[in-house]
């Protein structure tokens, strides 16, 4: 049995990974295929779908919208995340567990339900659907990720470091600037990158809350109706994929660095 398992487990793992990532790999492959139709055999190599992208004004608008929404949502969710993570890691208060549970809830709530509820709330509040409402939706789903990343950065931050700074004559603001911020900066940048990436790729919230201004995923959804546009959608999708991958890799590296910085000293003592 053990022998069987040790033989077949690698094979299973291999198949699993193929099933998971092969479809994703088709995206870049078909995006440089000369044919309009995404199927084998490939007909020839071309960059033309990529070259078409910057010549499509609707796409550029959508990209700009996504950038604005992503940056704003990342900043807002990181600021809120800093407050939450600081409270959770620093203070022991009544309802602390409940509060951190509620913050994490959007991770497991069906996104479409969240989106519809938000739509109803915003309409009944009389808010006009716009990129701003998309930002609000995105902040909601980014916060759990921000808080997770920031918690790791803040956890184990020795309170006496801030006291030592005050003791050496520094003001509260100076202490924040010279001690707290540098210690948690990697975690903050990591949170910004993760939130931005999530906002950039997010479809359902944007679809319900965007009004007339489309973000990139909403634009892609719209383009899928036209078979002729498929290759450029694939090209765009490839770019998004690569961009997200790079941003998340940087974010993870920074998160680990933040953890080392905060915990490194403790392990030495």
Partner 1 sequence: MPESASRPEAKPEARPMIEIRSVTRSYGPFKALDDANLTIREGEFFSLLGPSGCGKTTLLRMIAGFDNPTTGSIHIDGQAMDGIPANRRPTNMVFQSYAIFPHLNVEQNVAYGLKRQKLGASEEKRLVEEALGQVSLSGLGKRGATELSGGQRQRVALARALVMRPKVLLLDEPLSALDKKLREQMQVELRRLQQAVGITFILVTHDQYEALALSDRIAVMFGGKIAQVSSPKEIYQRPVNRQVADFVGGMNFMKGEVVEVNGSAITLDTAGFGRVRTDKPAGFAANGHATLGIRPERLRVLWDDAKASHEVAGKVVERHYFGEITQLVVEVPGFEKPLSVTETNNFGADDLPVGAQIRLAYDPDALVAMAD
User: Is position 101 an interface residue for partner 1 (rule: CB under 8 A)?
Assistant: no
User: Is position 158 an interface residue for partner 1 (rule: CB under 8 A)?
Assistant: yes
Is 80 or 161 the residue whose CB approaches partner 1 more closely? 161
Judged by CB under 8 A, the stretch of 127-135, 136-144, 145-153, 172-180 that binds partner 1 is: 172-180
Q: Residues 168, 242, 246, 253: which binds partner 1 (CB under 8 A)?
A: 168
User: How far apart are alpha carbons 202 and 240 in whole angstroms?
Assistant: 11
User: Is position 253 an interface residue for partner 1 (rule: CB under 8 A)?
Assistant: no
- Inter-axis angle of helices 230-268 and 131-154, nearest 10: 30
Judged by CB under 8 A, the stretch of 5-13, 85-93, 104-112, 256-264 that binds partner 1 is: 256-264
Q: Residues 42, 174, 177, 227: which binds partner 1 (CB under 8 A)?
A: 174
Q: How many residues bind partner 1 (CB under 8 A)?
A: 23
User: Is position 179 an interface residue for partner 1 (rule: CB under 8 A)?
Assistant: yes
User: Is position 160 an interface residue for partner 1 (rule: CB under 8 A)?
Assistant: yes
User: How far apart are alpha carbons 141 and 106 in whole angstroms?
Assistant: 6
Chain residues binding partner 1 by CB under 8 A are 158, 160-161, 163-171, 174, 178-179, 182-183, 261-262, 264-265, 268-269
């Amino acid at each position: 049995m053990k022998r069987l398992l040790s033989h077949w487990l690698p094979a299973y793992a291999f198949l699993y990974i193929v099933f998971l990532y092969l479809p994703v790999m088709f995206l870049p492959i078909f995006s440089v295929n000369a044919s309009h139709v995404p199927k084998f055999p490939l007909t020839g190599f071309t960059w033309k779908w990529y070259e078409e992208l910057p010549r499509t004004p609707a796409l550029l608008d959508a990209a700009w919208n996504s950038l604005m929404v992503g940056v704003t949502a990342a900043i807002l969710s990181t600021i809120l995340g800093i407050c939450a993570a600081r409270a959770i890691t620093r203070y022991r208060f009544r309802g602390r567990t409940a509060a951190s549970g509620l913050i994490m809830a959007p991770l497991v709530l069906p996104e479409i339900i969240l989106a519809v509820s938000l739509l109803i709330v915003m309409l009944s509040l009389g808010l006009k659907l716009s990129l701003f409402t998309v930002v609000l939706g995105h902040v909601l789903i980014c916060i759990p990720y921000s808080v997770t990343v920031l918690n790791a950065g803040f956890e184990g931050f020795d309170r006496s470091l801030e006291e030592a700074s005050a003791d050496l004559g520094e003001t509260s603001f100076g202490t924040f600037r010279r001690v707290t911020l540098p210690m948690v900066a990697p975690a903050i940048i990591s949170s910004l990158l993760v939130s931005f990436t999530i906002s950039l790729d997010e479809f359902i919230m944007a679809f319900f809350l965007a009004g007339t201004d489309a973000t990139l995923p909403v634009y892609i959804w719209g383009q899928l109706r036209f078979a002729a546009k498929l290759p450029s959608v694939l090209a765009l999708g490839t770019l998004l994929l690569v961009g997200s991958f790079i941003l998340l890799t940087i974010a993870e590296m920074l998160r680990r660095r933040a953890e080392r910085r905060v915990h490194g000293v403790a392990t030495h003592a």
